[in-house]
Structure 1
C-alpha cells in the first residue's frame, strides 16, 4: 500500500476538495496522512485516514508561512511516504525540496491561481515571492492538476506543463433538508444563499445593497473570512438586519443540509485579477447538487456552466436595482429539469475516475 502525505495550509475541517481527494485515495488502497493546522475555532475532525494539525505560533502573514513551511518540511522529511501531494503554491516548496532530496513522486493540486488572488494586488513584494516560486517549480513538475479548464490552459501555455482538470464537483447526494433547519424567521420568504469565503471581490456588498430593492427575500451568508465583521457592520449601517443573516463557518455535513433550502445560489465574483476571472467555485457545484438555480458573474468558467446546462442566469448589470429585477425574474422560472440533468453529471464520482488515473500513472 503506497503512502501519500497530503499538505494543505488551512485547518482541514471545511476543505471539501481535500477531503474528497483523500477519501477517494484512501478507498482505493492508498494510505493517507493529511497535514494542516489547528486554530482556536477549528472544528473537530472525524476522518477514515490519518490527520495531523499543527499548532503554530503565528497564524497570518509572512511569519505564518515561514513557520508553517519550515515545520512542514521537517515533518514530511522524517515521515514515511511514497508520494507527496501539495495543495496550492503555499505548500509546494517544502514538498518539492523533500521530493528532490529523497527522490519521491510529487503531485501538485492548484485550487486557484494563487499568485493572482486579489489580496496580493496591493502587496507587490509578497506577490513576487509566490510568483517566483511558481515560475521556478511548476515547469519541473510532471504530475499536476487543477480545478478548471481556464487555469489548466493558463499554466500549460505559460510553463509548457500538462495540467489535468479535476473539477471540484460534490459527491452525489439525495436532499433531505426542510426549511425548519434555518434558525431565523423565514416563513414565506425567498432565500438567496452565498456560501464560501467571505473575502474581498466576492460581490457580497453588491448583494447586500440589492436587498434594499427586494421585499419578501432574505440573503443568507454561510462562511467566514477577512471581511466578515466588516460586512456585519455594513449590514447594520444599511439597517438590513432583518434581511441579511450571517451563519458563519459550518461543517460540510451541516452545509449540505442547508444548501437545498435556498431559492437562488449566488456566485458574484468580481473580475479583479486572473484568479477570480478563471474561478469555478465549489459553491456552484454545491448549489447544482442541491438543485438550487444559480446566478453568476459574467466570467468564463461560471458562464460556461450556466450556458451548457441552463441551470441559472448570468448577471446582466452589476448594479443593485438591475440585479434585484433579475432575481425577481429568476424566482418565477423553473430550472428543475436542467438542474436534475446537471446534478447527475457534475458529481465527484465522475471526477474521481480521472483523479485515480493520475495517481495510478505517476511519472
Structure 2
C-alpha cells in the first residue's frame, strides 16, 4: 500500500494518529501537514545547519508549498520551519566509498517510497539516484525531480589520484542529470563544465549568499576568546569546516608573521585536533582559538566582529578551482574585508567587487604578510569594508534565489489544501507541464 511511507513518518513524528489508513482522505488526516506534500527535499546533512538547504526550504515554504524533508540529521538548534515543513531523519550507517553511497541510496529510496509528491529535489549527488527513482515510482505517475550540484562532484578532493572513483561519480551524475527537470549549481564555472561534459541545458546558478542582510552586530567572538576588554585587537576569522586542502594549517602557521591579531576558527571538522596541536607547537596557543559553529541565522551577527575573513581553499582539485563557498558571501554580507585564495571563481569575485585581497602564494610567510599588510593599512580596510557592503546589492538572496524560485514556480504545483483545513477530498494531483529533458528539449 503506497500510504505506508506516511504511516512510518507519522510514527517517526511520535504523533497519536489512527492506526489504519484506508484512503487518501484518511492519509490527509494522518500526516502532520494534513495532506501529501507538494515536494520532497532530500540531503545528506542537517537542513537546520546547512545554510544553503535552509534558505531553499524557506523559499519553497514562502511560495506556498508543503515540503517533506528527508535528511540524515535533524537536530534543529531552535529553528522553526513552520507547519508547512516536516523533517524526517533517514538513518544511515557509517561507512565509506561506494558502500556508503549504496547505503544512502537504499535508505533514501525506502524513505521516499509511497510519498505522492509532485516533485523530488536532490540537494546533493548522494541522493540524486534515489530521488530520480522515487519520482519514477511516485503513485501519481507524473512526478519530476531536480538536482543541486553543490560541488563539482566527480572532481572533489577525495577523487584526486583516484581516476576510477572520479569516473564512477561522473557516470552516476550523468546517468540521472540528463532527465532532471532542472539542475542548479553554485558557480558559473561548474555550470559551464556540466554543460560541456553532459550536453545538458546550462544549469541555473544559485550562489551561496546569505538569506538576510538584517542582523544585530554581536561581540560574541570577543567574549568567547576573552578580548572584551581589548576592542582594538583585530580578529581574523575562518568560518566553516576544518578539513584538508582548505589552507587551515597554513593559516595557523601564518600567524607567526602577524602582529597582535588573534585567529578564530568558527566551525568544526576532522582537522581541529591537528590545528590545535600545531598552534601549541608554534607558540600560538594564546592567539589561535576554536569555537563551535553557530546556527546559520547567527552567522552574520557573529562574523561582523572580525577584522578580516579568510578562505584559503587550495587548488588541489577542479572542485576547489570552481568553488564559491558560503563563507565568502558571509564575510561580504557582514562588511568584513576578505583574504581569499587566487582560484578561478574566488579571484573573479574579489577582483569584480574590490572587497579584499587575493592570496596567490600558499605558504605561511606569504599568507602572513598579506594579513599583516591588510591590518596595517586602515585606508584600504575601510575601502574594502565599504565595497563589501556595496556588493550586497548584487550578492543578496533576493537576487541570487531568482533562478531557484522561477524554476519551481514553472512546475505549477498548487497548494490546494490549507494547512489548518482537513479536506474532504483526496490528495491533490496537479497537472505538470514540466517534463524531463535533455539539452535543447523542454
Judge same fold: TM > 0.5, yes or no: yes
2:55 alignment partner, one of 20, 28, 33:
20
Q: 1:199 aligns with which of 220, 239, 243?
A: 243
Aligned match of 2:73 in 34, 38, 52? 38
Aligned partner (choices 175, 179, 195) of residue 219 of structure 2: 179
The answer to whether the 8 A contact 2:144-2:181 is kept is no
What's the secondary structure of 2:304's corresponding residue? Answer: helix
Out of 90, 101, 116, the residue aligned to residue 80 of structure 1 is: 116
**Residue in structure 2 matched with residue 164 of structure 1 by the alignment:** 204
Corresponding residue for residue 388 of structure 2: 339
User: Aligned in 2, Cα 1:359/1:178: closer, same or farther, shift over 3 Å?
Assistant: closer
CA contact (8 A) 1:172 1:344 kept: no
Q: Which moved more, 1:308-317 or 1:42-51?
A: 42-51
Offset at residue 259 of structure 1 (A): 0.5
Which residue number corresponds to residue 261 of structure 2? 217
- Correspondences of 1:54-65 after superposition (within 5 Å): 54-58=90-94, 61-65=97-101
Is the contact made by 2:124 and 2:149 (CA closer than 8 Å) also made in structure 1? yes
Write the mapping of 1:60-139 to structure 2, written as runs, cut at 5 A: 61-102=97-138, 103-139=142-178
Q: Which has the larger radius of gyration?
A: 2
State whether residues 77 and 295 of structure 2, in contact with CA within 8 Å, keep that contact through their aligned partners in structure 1: yes
| Structure 1 pair 44–117 and aligned structure 2 pair: CA distance change class (3 A) | farther
User: Is the 1:69–1:94 Cα contact (8 Å) retained in structure 2?
Assistant: yes
Distance in 1, Cα, partners of 2:273 & 2:47: 22
Cα distance between partner residues in 2 of 1:312 and 1:297: 11
Pick aligned residue for 2:348 from 292, 304, 311: 304
SS at match of 2:71: strand
Q: For residues 277-327 of structure 1, give each alpha carbon's deviation from its aligned partner in whole angstroms, at most 9, with x where no partner exists.
A: 100001111001100011111111111111111111111322222222221
Query: Equivalences for 1:202-351 in 2 at 5 Å?
Result: 202-331=246-375, 332=377, 333=380, 334=382, 335-351=384-400
Structure with the larger helix share = 1
Partner SS for 1:241? coil
Flag structure 1 segments of 5+ consecutive residues without an equivalent. none
Superposed displacement of residue 175, structure 1: 3.9
The TM-score with structure 2 as length reference comes to: 0.77
Contact 1:58 1:67 in 2 (8 A): no
Which segment drifts farther, 216-225 or 336-345? Answer: 336-345
Root mean square deviation, CA, Å: 2.1
Relative distance call for 1:312 and 1:200 in structure 2 (3 A) is same
CA contact (8 A) 1:294 1:312 kept: yes
Q: Kindly indicate whether the alpha-carbon contact (under 8 Å) linking 2:147 and 2:184 is maintained by their aligned counterparts in 1.
A: yes
- The Cα shift of 1:140 comes to 2.8
Contact 1:141 1:161 in 2 (8 A): no
- Rounded Cα–Cα distance in structure 2 between residues aligned with 1:196 and 1:35: 23
CA contact under 8 A between 2:104 and 2:126: conserved in structure 1?
Answer: no
> Could you list the runs of 5+ residues in structure 2 that have no partner in the other structure?
1-35, 412-433, 435-442
Matched, 1:3 2:38: yes
TM-score of the two chains, using structure 1 as the length reference: 0.93
For 1:38 and 1:354, locate their aligned partners in 2 and report how far apart those are by CA, in whole Å.
27
Tell me the CA shift for residue 136 of structure 1. Answer: 1.9
1:248/1:127 Cα in 2 relative to 1: closer, same or farther (>3 Å)? farther
